[in-house]
Chains A and B, each alone.
Chain A
Amino acid sequence: TQLLEQSPQFLSIQEGENLTVYCNSSSVFSSLQWYRQEPGEGPVLLVTVVTGGEVKKLKRLTFQFGDARKDSSLHITAAQPGDTGLYLCAGASERGGADGLTFGKGTHLIIQP
Chain B
Amino acid sequence: KQEVTQIPAALSVPEGENLVLNCSFTDSAIYNLQWFRQDPGKGLTSLLLIQSSQREQTSGRLNASLDKSSGRSTLYIAASQPGDSATYLCAVKSGGSYIPTFGRGTSLIVHP
A and B found bound together: no
Interface residues of chain A, those whose CB is within 8 Å of chain B, are none
